[in-house]
Amino acid sequence: MLIIAKPKSIEIQAKLFRGFSDSSRLSILQILMEGAMTVNEIVEQTGLSQPNVSNHLGCLRECGLVTSQSQGRFVYYELSDKRVKQLLLLADSLLTDVAKGVYECMILEKNRK
């Protein structure tokens, strides 16, 4: 049975997936799968600039994908829910099967520009 989502539900899902739609944010999420980290630790592991990481963490927090907790003078960021990690692992698994199509889609996007 096909279930059609209501338009409002689709809008909310689109906002959720906005958090996953940028390679820098995905890098941050992948790193946070290992556990809570400070901005400086994330910067060190990703090679992104500190302002860039802070900006993306703000987006990820807004989307509900990460939470932050102050400990002394440091703020630690972590995945908000174990299902975020599960979704990332599921995406990797799915890519195993559909990588060729995704690659071809990327080529089409590149050729349009």
Is the distance from CB of 60 to CB of 42 less than 8 angstroms?
no
pLDDT of residue 112: 64
For residue range 27-69, list pLDDT tens digits in order. 999 999 999 999 999 999 999 999 999 999 999 998 899 999 9
Domain 21-80 class in CATH: mainly alpha
Look at residue 1 and tell me whether its pLDDT is greater than 60: no
pLDDT in tens, 2-30: 566 677 788 888 888 888 989 999 999 99
Q: What is the pLDDT averaged over residues 91-95?
A: 90
pTM score, whole prediction: 0.80
CATH 1.10.10.10 domain locations along the chain: 21-80
CB 52 within 8 A of CB 14: no
What SS3 state is found at 37?
strand
